[in-house]
Amino acid sequence: MKELLLKAENISKHFPVKESMLRKSKSKVHALDKVNLSIYREEIVGVVGESGCGKSTLARVICRLIEPTEGSIEFDGVRLEQLGKKQMRDMRRHMQLVFQDPFSSLNPRKKVRQIIAEPLDIYSVGTRSERNKRVDELLEVVGLSAGHAERYPHEFSGGQRQRIGIARALALKPKLLICDEPVSALDVSVQAQILNLLQDLQQQFGLSYMFIAHGLDVIRHISDRIAVMYLGKLVEMGTSDAIFNRPKHPYTQALISAIPVPDPVRRQVAVALAGEIPSPIDPPSGCRFHTRCPFAADTCRTVEPELRVGGDGHSVACHLAEL
């Protein structure tokens, strides 16, 4: 087994709800509830789940852009929550983010050179000319040319912008790249370009990825291991192969069957799950999935299932699932 890079334990994040105008109400958005996640070196961990299940929150908590309500994060052997503000900023060099929206993640008022050089500027890496050289290199790495450096983001297509975002993330030679739905906003053909690029980079630099997506096909394509989330909880985690071929949690099963497969022969619309996603403000008691689960039993309604780890490292949080 490879060396552990990141270990997040029992991470919770509750946002206060401004429900009434005068006082903060006691109800909270349970964006994350006791989530455990580990990422090994040079591993790609995919995170899937429906919108609002807490994927982005998890990403932000991990690099401490927001403080978790509880839980601990160990990165590269260092307990992040024990770091001061300044130390944390230094730590962040090693974990960089790639964002979902290539249109809003680049400052439209800056030239590409300034955008990519920003992390270098912040940490005052090298001299000006060294930084410029590094920017040119990075552009090259992500498949753009140095000539693009003097242009503004709006002159680029979505795929190209995503490349710029990736180049920026790579500037400080991070160990972990957190990609928050980096291809969701892209067309299929461009998506393929970016996925290829990310794969190449991972091999080239020995990076680790936390890769968030809501498209299962993408996750399946890129991930070594996959974490499935539902309403702030991690419900299942296992190797890509295990998740897709032997899904244990009913939600994962539904998710997989709901993917519209471009197969002209097997043409039936599978209505996998009935009902709407409950609100994270007052998540259902017991198993959060019980409201939509076709197999829900009484215990599911009252007792919250623990995440149980099976022999092959395949873990699942379901009372009914067999390990």
| 281 counts as binding another protein under rule CB under 8 A | no
CB nearer to ligand ATP: pick between 195 and 212: 212
Residues forming the site for Mg ion (CB under 5 A): 56
Interface residue with another protein, options 26, 84, 109, 311 (CB under 8 A): 109
Report yes or no: 26 and 15 within 8 Å, Cβ to Cβ.
no
Interface residue with ligand ATP, options 57, 202, 208, 252 (CB under 6 A): 57
Site string for another protein, 237-256 (x = CB under 8 A): ---xx------------xx-
CB nearer to another protein: pick between 100 and 315: 100
117 Cβ contact partners less than 8 Å away, ≥ 6 residues apart: 131, 132, 134, 135, 171
Beta strands in 4-160 (DSSP E): 4-16, 28-40, 44-49, 70-75, 78-79, 95-98
**Interface segment toward another protein; rule CB under 8 A; list 31-39, 220-228, 299-307, 309-317:** 220-228
Report yes or no: 231 and 66 within 8 Å, Cβ to Cβ.
no
| 14 counts as binding ligand ATP under rule CB under 6 A | no
Report yes or no: 138 and 117 within 8 Å, Cβ to Cβ.
no
Look at strands 4-16 and 78-79 and give their pairing. Answer: unpaired
| 205 counts as binding ligand ATP under rule CB under 6 A | no
| Nearest Cα to Cα of residue 135 among 170, 106, 104 | 170
Interface residue with another protein, options 4, 17, 125, 190 (CB under 8 A): 190
Type of residue found at 306: E
Reduced to 3 states, what is the DSSP secondary structure of residue 70? strand
188 binds, among Mg ion, ligand ATP, another protein, none (CB under 5 to 8 A by kind): another protein
Q: Work out how close the CB of 215 gets to Mg ion at its nearest, in angstroms, rounded to a whole number.
A: 13
Site string for ligand ATP, 263-302 (x = CB under 6 A): -----------------x----------------------
Interface residue with ligand ATP, options 34, 55, 292, 314 (CB under 6 A): 55
| Nearest Cα to Cα of residue 237 among 222, 221, 224 | 224
CB nearer to ligand ATP: pick between 136 and 180: 180
Beta strands in the chain (DSSP E): 4-16, 28-40, 44-49, 70-75, 78-79, 95-98, 176-180, 208-212, 225-230, 233-239, 308-309, 315-316
Interface residue with ligand ATP, options 6, 37, 44, 53 (CB under 6 A): 53
CA distance 188 to 221: 13
| 189 counts as binding ligand ATP under rule CB under 6 A | no
Q: Work out how close the CB of 117 gets to Mg ion at its nearest, in angstroms, rounded to a whole number.
A: 27
Residue nearest to Mg ion according to CB distances in the complex:
56
Tokens for 314?
């395949």
Q: Where along the sequence are the contacts to ligand ATP (CB under 6 A)?
A: 15, 29, 31, 49, 51-57, 214, 280
